[in-house]
Amino acid sequence: MSAQIPVKVKVKTVINKEPYELTAFGRYSEKGDSTYLQYDEMMPEGTIHTTVKLKNGEVLILRKGAVDMRLHFIPNKTTPGTFHTAHGSMLTEAKTKKISIGVGQVEVRYDLKIQGSNAGTYQMNINYEEVSE
């Protein structure tokens, strides 16, 4: 893996028109034709280690820790995923409506189902920029 570059990450997620924002410090790296963004989220339940993998126009989000989650986004496709908490495991299904990947930014818009029930329409914007350590 190439050198890991320190970055400031801003994540804005809008769920059914309700905005949520997170700012964290993490690492950016590249390996082959994949780009990785890694950061930690501090939640009341504990720390969640998040990895965002970008490859060939697809986005894979892996979260480990207080919450374990796997969401895979492929343009115009519906993909299965998983969501695990202390309360149990659930299956997810993400129908990707839009993916936009640019320099320092990732945007994903999708409809999410959890255990077959509609959980809403999500719009996630991830912006990151290099910072000095």
Distance CA(110)–CA(89), nearest Å, equals 21
120: tokens are 């809403």
How much is the pLDDT for 99? 97
Segment 66-87 shows an average pLDDT of: 93
Parent domain of 52:
5-130
CATH number assigned to the domain comprising residue 27: 2.40.128.20
* Number of domains into which the chain is organized: 1
Share of the chain above pLDDT 70, in %: 98
66 confidence band (pLDDT: 50, 70, 90)? confident
Segment 40-55 shows an average pLDDT of: 91
How much is the pLDDT for 53? 97
* Helix H or strand E encompassing 125: strand 117-130
Cβ neighbours of residue 26 closer than 8 Å, sequence gap 6 or more:
6, 7, 9, 37, 38, 39, 40, 50, 128
The pTM of the full predicted model, rounded to 2 decimals, is 0.92
How much is the pLDDT for 2? 66
Yes or no: say if 81 and 72 are a contact pair by the CB < 8 Å rule: yes
